[in-house]
């Protein structure tokens, strides 16, 4: 079987992590080898960069560069080898998150992000590595704020005001509009079972399940 790359996206509190694990189990039951990973992170180096990005104060350019540096190592060390083996890669966030958080949330230059995207995601197999399917958990920022309240000690992103997450949600919507064939939008303000049902149905239509 050929490799398959799926990313799960959404603002903090959207509940995507729960459904990534459920999808991994469903795919393994069908005989697929699944690699579960995340961004920023996924390799020892990228996890160190993740800790910096989530906790240390920095300007938007530094933040964006850290994200893409972590992504480059992640692609080279984990994602590309897994796809070459024919595995399914399930990634908790990928480049759409950078456009949503650093672009939409921070207001950083989208043209610069697009240039970094082309540089970093050029790999031997393709000039611009993107997920085959991006499952976008679309959640109103007000609902996300309620879910996050008191959940744990927030990191530098989770502690942002609701207006920040509204801009992030807008960033995701813009990415989905620009590449609708790749995105599977799921309304995340539903009961968990209904969200999973929508994920499962959408991926079945796309031939993933």
What confidence score (pLDDT) does residue 155 get?
Answer: 66
What confidence score (pLDDT) does residue 17 get?
Answer: 83
Q: How confident is the model at residue 160 (pLDDT cuts 50, 70, 90)?
A: confident
Summary mean pLDDT of the chain: 93
Sign of CA dihedral 126, 172, 40, 61: positive
Pairwise CA distance, residues 130 & 94, whole Å: 9
What confidence score (pLDDT) does residue 12 get?
Answer: 80
Annotated binding site: 10-17
Which has more confidence, 158 or 66? 66
Q: How confident is the model at residue 134 (pLDDT cuts 50, 70, 90)?
A: very high
Average pLDDT over residues 192-199: 95
Annotated binding site for ATP: 10-17
Q: How confident is the model at residue 18 (pLDDT cuts 50, 70, 90)?
A: confident
> pTM score, two decimals?
0.93
What confidence score (pLDDT) does residue 1 get?
Answer: 77
What confidence score (pLDDT) does residue 152 get?
Answer: 59
The answer to whether residue 159 scores a pLDDT higher than 90 is no
Q: How confident is the model at residue 145 (pLDDT cuts 50, 70, 90)?
A: confident
């Amino acid at each position: 079987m050929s490799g398959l790359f799926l990313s799960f996206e959404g603002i903090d509190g959207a509940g995507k992590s729960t459904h990534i694990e459920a999808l991994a189990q469903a795919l393994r039951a069908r005989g697929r080898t699944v690699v579960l990973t995340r961004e920023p992170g996924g390799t020892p180096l990228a996890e160190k960069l993740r800790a910096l990005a989530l906790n240390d104060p920095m300007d938007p350019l530094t933040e964006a560069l850290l994200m893409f540096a972590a992504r480059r190592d992640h692609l080279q060390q984990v994602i590309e080898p897994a796809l070459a083996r024919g595995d399914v890669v399930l990634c908790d966030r990928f480049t759409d998150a950078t456009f949503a958080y650093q672009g939409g949330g921070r207001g950083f230059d989208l043209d610069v992000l697009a240039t970094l995207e082309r540089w970093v995601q050029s790999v031997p197999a393709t000039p611009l590595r993107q997920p085959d399917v991006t499952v976008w958990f679309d959640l109103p920022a007000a609902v996300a704020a309620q879910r996050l309240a008191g959940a744990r000690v927030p990191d530098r992103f989770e502690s942002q005001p609701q207006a920040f997450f509204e801009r992030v949600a807008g960033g995701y919507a813009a990415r989905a509009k620009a590449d609708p064939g790749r995105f599977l939008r799921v309304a995340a303000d539903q009961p968990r079972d209904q969200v999973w049902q929508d994920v499962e149905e959408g991926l079945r239509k796309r031939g993933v399940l």
